[in-house]
Structure 1
Amino acid sequence: MRHMAAAALMAAVGTGAAVAQKSTADGIAEYREMLADGNPAELFEMKGEELWKQKRGPKSASLEQCDLGKGAGVVKGAFVELPRYFADTGRVQDLESRLLSCMESLQGFDARKIAATPFGKDEQKNMEALVAWVSAESKGMKFNLPQAHAQERQMYEVGKRVFFMRSGSHDFACASCHGADDKRIRLQDLPNLTKAPGAAAGFGAWPAYRVSSGELWSMQRRLNDCFRQQRFPYPGYASDVTIALSVYMGVNGKGGESTAPAIKR
């Protein structure tokens, strides 16, 4: 009888913990839903659309002829197929690196100078706005990153290796937090980025407005913060390592809907 009572007590405790965990997750979801009604990312979207059409830079040109993968000037649907291979640059590019290429080739900006600028400063602020608008134009669409080109497949494999690579003072990897189901840190659910639907939910929510910092973060900035938490050196902006990780997550999230630009705590 004692064993039966103990088993019943443990089952009750386990059920209570599960209910408490579910209630916490539901509470956070409701909090995000309330915030989403007035997501400040919309202000960045408006600015991004203006920047896309505005004649700027040494060449006094707009970005309306920028090819994001679906033809010159086509924005709708481009975000959910990035990163992808571009023949004119001979490399796989994500949204940020592709915008840098267009800003340099069409408008005459120095892409290396922008890439070296701290987040939230000068042209990086404009980049965040452009990323917000372009991503918003594909909101609700399903991710379908191409893998036909050899470089696209290679970047997926590189991203996979980086995702599982353990290093740094804490022996962390991306997979330490995002490599399995039902993981949490504090009150934050951690999506499993190795498969759908977690990969789409995690990858497809960025760029996002961060309430805690009052800024809009691109995927590049989100990945930089992940590297910081792993005690790794910061990767270069629009570098191959961040693009490879984006390919890995994006391909894993195939079929999931983009919610970017989302809102985060």
Structure 2
Amino acid sequence: MRLIASIFAALITMIPLQGFAGNSSTDEIAKYRQLLADGNPAELWEMRGEELWKKKIGPQSVSLEQCDLGKGPGVVKGAYVELPRYFKDVNKVMDLEQRLIHCRITLQKLTPEQAAAVPFGSTGNPSDIEALVAYITAASRGMKIAVSTTHPKEQAAYELGKRFFFYRAGAHDFACATCHSKDKQRIRLQELPNLLNRTDAQNTYSTWPAYRVSQGEVRSMQHRLSDCMRQQRFPEPRYASDTITALIMFMAKNAEGGVYDAPALKR
């Protein structure tokens, strides 16, 4: 799987971004992505994720097929577009990755360390979590993002995520809002979506997780936000922390109504 993805990444770097004279950089990148739309290597992660979902592991040899992602035990179709959400059995709001860790602990009887081992894959060290995320999110393609904030804890998570979005800190006194609260901002050739703008929020949130060509891996939303924290020079967030889940809740709610289309493909 990794060999095929590496060959794909090597080939697409040969595709030039030049040749469309008179168009903006954003148009060039959009055409570049369109050329790469077919044959997304994320499909390999999706297939591995399905195998892991059905694979019996742990002390009691149990699969994840009874894991309740919010729509009933074992139901993956449409689950992701309603996450994060409140789960009564744990009395808290969880995003997909938190819930997967919970199911691996409670159903498969893995230790917390085993359940969250290798959250982000690298060459020669693939992540089971990223594969499971790819499989589960793919089952919501074509559905509308519909995250609830009706429960008091869902509303509290949204408000915490909103506060964090505007919170300035770190060596550069940055916040998420520094880059993502105005229209038509960019870093180099990279356009920065305004996550307070409904259309931008929908277009952004609906395309994660994604296969990152530059990294040769499928990256989850937890990874994307962790990398944002790194670029802001924040302390590295604890994996699957409630704060990051709250930020995901804020982003997901802002993207409400958007049609989900991931795992996508990114540079």
**Partners in 1 of 2:112 and 2:192 — Cα distance?**
34
Q: How does 1:246-257 map to 2 (within 5 A)?
A: 246-257=248-259
User: Does the 8 Å CA contact 1:59/1:107 hold for their aligned counterparts?
Assistant: yes
Q: CA deviation at 1:115?
A: 3.1
Which of 148, 151, 155 aligns to 2:150? It is 148
**Matched position secondary structure for 1:96:** helix
The normalised TM-score by structure 1 is 0.89
Per the alignment, residue 78 of structure 1 pairs with 79
**Matched position secondary structure for 1:143:** coil
**Matched position secondary structure for 1:85:** strand
- Residue type matched to 2:157 in 1? M
**Which 5+ residue runs of structure 1 have no aligned equivalent?**
1-18
Q: Deviations over 1:58-106 (max 9, x none)?
A: 2211111111001111110000000000011111000000011111111
Q: CA deviation at 1:111?
A: 2.6
**Matched position secondary structure for 1:209:** strand
Q: CA deviation at 1:112?
A: 3.8
Find out whether 1:202 has 2:169 as its counterpart.
no
User: Does the 8 Å CA contact 2:182/2:194 hold for their aligned counterparts?
Assistant: yes
Find out whether 1:224 has 2:237 as its counterpart.
no
**Matched position secondary structure for 1:184:** strand
Which of 169, 172, 180 aligns to 1:170? It is 172
Find out whether 1:30 has 2:25 as its counterpart.
no
**Partners in 1 of 2:98 and 2:165 — Cα distance?**
20
User: Percent identity at matched positions?
Assistant: 58
- Residue type matched to 2:208 in 1? W
**Matched position secondary structure for 2:93:** strand
- Residue type matched to 1:84 in 2? R
Which structure is higher in helix share?
Answer: 1
Q: How does 1:231-250 map to 2 (within 5 A)?
A: 231-250=233-252
Per the alignment, residue 51 of structure 1 pairs with 52
Per the alignment, residue 65 of structure 1 pairs with 66
User: Does the 8 Å CA contact 1:147/1:153 hold for their aligned counterparts?
Assistant: yes
**TM superposition outliers: structure 1 runs of 4+ over 4 Å:** 19-22, 121-124
**Partners in 2 of 1:71 and 1:172 — Cα distance?**
40
Q: How does 1:109-148 map to 2 (within 5 A)?
A: 109-115=110-116, 117=118, 119-120=120-121, 125-148=127-150
Per the alignment, residue 7 of structure 1 pairs with none
Q: CA deviation at 1:203?
A: 1.8
**Partners in 2 of 1:52 and 1:33 — Cα distance?**
31
**Partners in 1 of 2:119 and 2:163 — Cα distance?**
27
User: Does the 8 Å CA contact 1:85/1:152 hold for their aligned counterparts?
Assistant: yes
**Partners in 2 of 1:43 and 1:175 — Cα distance?**
34
